[in-house]
Amino acid sequence: MSYKVTLIPGDGIGPEVCKASVRVLEATGIKFDWEVQEAGVDVMDKYGTPLPDAVIESVRRNKVALKGPITTPIGTGFRSVNVAIRKVLDLYACLRPCKSYPGVRSRYKDIDVVVVRENTEDLYAGIEYQKDTPEAIKLIQFIKGTGQKIRDDSGISIKSISVFGTERIVRFAFDYARKNGRKKVTAVTKANILKYTDGLFYDVARQVAKKYPDIQYEERLVDASCMGLVMRPEEFDVLVLPNLYGDIISDLCAGLVGGLGIAPGANIGDDAAVFEAVHGSAPKYKGQNKVNPTAVLLSGVLMLRHLGHEREADLVNKALAAVIREGRSVTYDFKPTRDDPSAVGTSQMADAVIRKMDSLRKAAPVG
């Protein structure tokens, strides 16, 4: 069996980390038919947009995509190419596991937290009005009519959270917890201040939680959660959050385990899924065979699990963890100093992971 998968290398370091990850994924023995699609700043002159229609059509057709980081061009109609892909394809669930790997420099050990972020609503829906425009003036007049204080020179952004959007993201978090042997789901908002939007999120989450008596449910405010994650991360398991808080908290959690270089991500909807690293395109390192491929590779591991290949996903994860733990064939960011001469390149780290996969197979052959 061969899987038709959309491959979006992106720009900056994207093509390099994607190429390395593809080689490792193919070394599992699973057959992939990669449908390569161009996107990002490098194709603006060619297509007149950083996100050609063919990219979306390909993902819709194939249902699964592996994506490298993409730079959002300044001065275009896109707030973010990544956000545009999620909105157009209704990839409502952003899954971001944050797990400690021995050998990664971090002040913390044994972190194992999963962030489930709602991807389509909240302030990231981009419903905004520039100050002094007719739309903003009308909204300001309306708000003043309700007795609320607002300055005339305000720009306005609307925060929208629905019952529908909340129900499906919380259900996703509980389903993930149950499937992966997790014990607790924590809903995170600022409902003590935003009573009608974040309050709605809590109200709906409580109703969903009743359907999962085997999973503990709790609620925490976002500011207290930030402090708690730094002081007592062991108290957290699966977190489910509205869009903006999820973006912030997922970066915080990535910091706990050593940074965005080892932070994978998945954007999942009912009809398609796009797997991508959390980090950006880092164009200053483009073409240098220098950067860490771990985040994209771990996103590939999430893709393998999504496709039902748990054994192969475990093999890649174990091999990568061993390479990082041994600390020899790793990129500069894993080394004690950035100029460590023993650091290897992106491609060479992928080679080391593939060799480790082979040795793990030989040590425990599958009957």
**pLDDT by residue (tens digit) across 297-338?**
999 999 999 999 999 999 999 999 999 999 999 999 999 888
Instruction: Evaluate if residue 367 carries a pLDDT over 50.
Output: no
Residues 80 and 114 in one domain: no
212 inside domain: yes
101 inside domain: no
Per-residue model confidence as pLDDT tens digits over 234-249: 999 999 999 999 999 9
Phi, psi values for residue 134, rounded to 5° = -55, -40
99 inside domain: no
pLDDT at residue number 366: 52
Q: What is the mean pLDDT of residues 281-306?
A: 95
Please return the burial class of 16, using the count of CB atoms within 10 Å of its CB with bins 0-12, 13-18 and 19+: buried
Residues 239 and 152 in one domain: no
pLDDT at residue number 79: 62
CATH of residue 190's domain is 3.40.50
Name the domain count of the chain. Answer: 3
Residue with tokens 């489930």: 116
Residues 148 and 167 in one domain: no
The helix (H) or strand (E) run that includes residue 57 is helix 53-62
Residue with tokens 């009912």: 270
Choose one of 257, 276, 306: the last residue of a domain.
Answer: 257
141 inside domain: yes
Active site residue 223: yes
Active site residue 247: yes
Residues 230 and 117 in one domain: yes
Domain that holds residue 147: 125-159
Q: Which of 223, 271, 340, 358 is catalytic?
A: 223
pLDDT band at 41 (very low <50, low <70, confident <90, very high): confident
pLDDT at residue number 75: 57
Choose one of 229, 257, 285: the last residue of a domain.
Answer: 257
Active site residue 92: no
Say which range, 66-75, 95-104, 280-289, has the weakest mean pLDDT.
Answer: 66-75
Residues 319 and 352 in one domain: yes
Q: Residue 188 has which token pair?
A: 């995170």
Q: Which of 11, 42, 237, 247 is catalytic?
A: 247
98 inside domain: no
Residues 113 and 233 in one domain: yes
CATH of residue 71's domain is 3.40.718.10
Please report, rounded to a whole number, the percentage of residues in the chain having pLDDT higher than 90.
86
Residues 69 and 137 in one domain: no
pLDDT at residue number 338: 83
Please report, rounded to a whole number, the percentage of residues in the chain having pLDDT higher than 70.
97
31 inside domain: yes
pLDDT band at 365 (very low <50, low <70, confident <90, very high): low
Say which range, 41-55, 246-260, 264-278, 340-354, has the weakest mean pLDDT.
Answer: 41-55
Residues 187 and 283 in one domain: no
pLDDT band at 76 (very low <50, low <70, confident <90, very high): low
For 109, what's the count of Cα atoms within 13 Å in the CB-facing half-sphere? 2
- Identify the residue with better confidence: 71 or 75: 71
Q: What is the mean pLDDT of residues 108-130?
A: 93
Active site residue 152: no
Q: Which of 42, 67, 92, 190 is catalytic?
A: 190
204 inside domain: yes
Reference 246, options 347, 158, 123; nearest CA is: 123
Residues 252 and 223 in one domain: yes
Q: Which of 124, 176, 217, 245 is catalytic?
A: 124
pTM of the model: 0.93
pLDDT at residue number 182: 97
